[in-house]
Structure 1
Amino acid sequence: MKTLTFPLLLVTSLGLTGPAVAQNDFGDILSGVARTMVEQELEKTAFAQAQSANTAEAYRNYLSRFPNGANRANAERALARLGGSVIPGQPSPPPVSGPIAGNTRPASVEAQIGLSRTQRMQLQTQLTKLGYPTGGADGLWGSNTRAAIGRWQSANNLPATGYVTTQQVRLIAQQAGPVAGTPPPGGSDTVDDRTEEQLLSLTAEERRDIQRRLTRLGYRTGGIDGVFGAGTRRALASWQRDEGLRASGYITADQLRELRRQTG
């Protein structure tokens, strides 16, 4: 049997006292802290119900009840994914079913280059040679590599996004000079997301955390069990597709940071 939290038990006990407890006396009985806890619990339950239904109407109902709720951004994102508008009657955008056309977000622009892990390793070597150390050439572009790219971009009077474009890949190669085994950018060898996910060495709790975050954004994984089965792979691929990334179903270091950013 599910254990009720203190605020819900308090509300339940008050409700059982009958009409003797008037509505305008409610505020006198509950302290401000308790009221806040009750509201948070109700908001959390309402969002969970919207996720379970996973319809535009359900998310709109949540937003109408809790316009400033903690999950407002997640509900609006889910609405956009389902092709619904926040306010009924407004024109609805088409459902997102593929890569976002013309997506100019730096991460999406870089993803469209299709750098292989070998190419990423070579770029790390080139940046280090130019005086922007990346902390190692492993093909996993973590915070050190992103910072190195940003510093190189600033030094070359470019927007310091930390994500490269095709032109910038070429410019880095020109400035660094020959590096043994450097393949041309944009080759047929695509990034091995499966290998990168394996190299992340995610623990069971980290996998459960990813599943919880995907579910919170409206991408149902089929369970929070720490096992990346077909349901989790589909949820990851759907999230990647909506973000304008390659829908591999395997999460990379960059994508893990973005998923955590989106879910706080």
Structure 2
Amino acid sequence: MTPSLFIKAATVMVAMAVPAHADDTVKNIVGGIAKQYLQQEQDRAAFAQAQSVNTLNAYQSYLRQFPNGAYASHARDRVERLGGTTPAGSGGVSLSAADRVEVQRRLNALGYSTGGTDGSFGPGTRRAIALWQRDRNYAQTGTLTRAQATEILRGRSTGDVPSAGSAAAAEADGGGSAAQSERALGLSVAQRSAVQAGLTRRGFDTRGVDGTFGPGTRRAIANWQRANDLSATGYLTGPQFQRLTTR
């Protein structure tokens, strides 16, 4: 049975399941379920067709039909890898291969692991983008808009992240108001562990949750601060501590 015939048959079966005496509310609910199921099957069948052809035009055609479909992000990825542009109105943004690698590199520098820097926006990169979007109060789509891509590409590079040596030195000699302010908080081991857990939940690797703010935690704090448009000192203020430890 072809996908289209299967969809029609399934829709008829759902409709037949509604008793003739059912009230309008029940009929509307069942009708809505049938419509949703039909749309999902059409989406699936269209993407399967695009995959079977596996051409730029096929994926672009799918995106025109289902700009917000369940497989839209995969289709956009294929379009970009095949050297094409995403159709207008289909969401997302087309990036060059070099820009895609740079986006991944900068996300990793900010503490959002993409699982590689090969220019392919697979599940790891989509997850990293969604986490970056979450921490900036954007919709967590896992797909970048033009403005978001520009924000990442024009952001500070890895070289702007405080090095482990400089962070450790500042901690040791007590230099800098940021380090002094954090010490004034008098954080306990349990509170420091809560900070590390909060950073880890947000995708910033602290290299362990042990209540000790070593180089890994300092880097994670600085990356989180930068991602939230805060001064990337690597040391916490009171409000930042509250923010990171509040679920």
Highest relative contact order (Cα 8 Å, sep 6+), 1 or 2?
Answer: 1
**Range of TM-score over shorter length:** 0.3 to 0.5
TM-score, with length taken from structure 1: 0.34
TM-score, with normalisation over the residues of structure 2?
Answer: 0.36
